[in-house]
Chains A and B, each alone.
Chain A
Amino acid sequence: MEELALHILDIAENSIRAGARTIEIEVAEDLQQDRLLITIRDNGKGMDKRTLRHALDPFFTTKPNKRVGLGLPLLAAAARQAGGDIAIRSKRGAGTEVEAAFQYSHVDRQPLGNLAATMEALIIGNPDVDFRLVHRSPKGVKQLDTRNIRAALDGAPINSIEGIRRVKQSMEEHGWR
């Protein structure tokens, strides 16, 4: 992965495969504490104890016919190489929260990258899931909520051309493009 926004896309895709209907993504750039924090919280089926214990093992997966599961191990590696770490909180039936911390100024910290393209991919690829993004940075707080986009669409699917345009417009209005 070249950028943190791609990790966010990947972890949120995991949430969707776990049956999440709502996914909250928070990106906090805290320059005073020299820290970048990414949190992905979902209301999917959650992990049992064994899955949680092995979640960072690249040779562990819950998918049938697969031998590797690289999403979380890659994010963990990206955090650890940048002076940070990863924490996963999950319970069967109670959703999952993944929190990755990075030293903001670390030379090996990947760039945040294109959050707008990540959100577009998530929203348009998963029209039945609600996404909320909060991005805190020294420039201020930016927020996106698909429930607002949906309300403005007047019944058209969010992955229709009207939906795609509205998502893009929304990202632009919030200063992501």
Chain B
Amino acid sequence: MAKLTISELQKLREKLAQERQTREGNARGQIIIHMGTCGIAAGARKVLTALLEAMDKQNVRDVIVSTSGCAGMCSKEPMATVQLPQQAPVKYISLNEEKIVRILNEHLLQGNVVKEFALAVGSERMG
């Protein structure tokens, strides 16, 4: 094996630190896909599958994915809530496979809310 340079070592260190973050629960952010009856009927499972595939492809290791029940706005499903540390949660509405990948890339990975898909900023209510 060739000798590692300092910058390669630093990259390796960052990579391992990110992996450790996930294991220890210090993730970059969390995304909750609403998986109530209304969400499922509107296509929430497809949205989740697309998100997981994108995360796998891009090797995103520090985003926590989870699901919740109906948020009470059934006509706006499929919905998801994104929460970054020290920031208010953002709810996204009327999602599909393409929109969720944009939310992953722009909001979760770069910190920019995708305003065109966002409903409002507020707290999550578990139903």
Contacts and interface: CB of A to CB of B under 8 A. Distances in A.
A124 interface: yes
A155 B19 CA distance: 12
Interface residues of B, number: 29
Chain A interface main SS type: helix
Nearest to B30: A159
B60 interface: yes
Nearest to B32: A125
A161 B67 contact: no
Q: How large is the interface on A (under 10, 10 to 19, 20 to 34, 35 or more residues)?
A: 20 to 34
Interface string B57-80: 001110011110110100000000
Nearest to A6: B40
B23 A66 contact: no
B41 A1 contact: yes
B45 A164 contact: no
Given A118-B45, A120-B52, A121-B48, A161 B37 contact: no
A9 interface: yes
Contacts of A13: 35-37, 40, 67, 69
Contacts of A17: 69, 127
Interface string B25-53: 10000000101111011001110110010
A161 B56 contact: yes
Given A121-B67, A161-B22, A161-B56, A66 B45 contact: no
Contacts of A118: 45
Interface in A155-169: 155-157, 159-161, 164-165, 168
B55 interface: yes
Interface of B: 22-23, 25, 33, 35-38, 40-41, 44-46, 48-49, 52, 55-56, 59-61, 64-67, 69-70, 72, 127
By Cβ-Cβ distance, the 5 closest A-B pairs, closest first, are: A125-B67, A71-B37, A160-B22, A161-B61, A70-B37
